[in-house]
Structure 1
Amino acid sequence: MNKTNERLLRALRDAAINIEVACLAMNAAAQQLEDEEISRLLRKNIDTLRQDSTILRVHAREVSEKKIRRRA
């Protein structure tokens, strides 16, 4: 794997991990909120972020399997 793809792979994986950590913190905050509406909206955002994290992991897998190539 070339250096560009290695950096891309690392960035994608790091971003996915950072999103998951943020989701854990947001979920803890949502559990402590008294306002049910805000808590519900926060959980909805968490779901969206987790979907984004999954997409990043798919892209990382594609990079590692050399399915994503740089365009000339």
Structure 2
Amino acid sequence: MDMPISLFVEIPDTLHQSLATFLDTRPEWDQDRVFSAAISLFLLQNRLPEQGSDRQAARIYLDSLFGCSNAD
């Protein structure tokens, strides 16, 4: 099972406003789900060729995208 950790990040105000608007119109999403999906997709798209497949990042991305729990 993945253990969550807390992050403190600063993002531009316009990005924060866009995130708030997105979350206000989609009650099934929360900030944690958005960040998990965004970070895992970024890692999948920007992995180094020698890293090969990153099944964990793919799983987290798909679980976040479809609203599934990360529990094993």
Q: Fold match, TM over 0.5?
A: no
- Higher helix share goes to which structure? 1
Q: Which has the higher contact order (CA 8 A, sep 6+)?
A: 1
TM-score normalized with structure 1 length: 0.41
| Greater gyration radius | 1
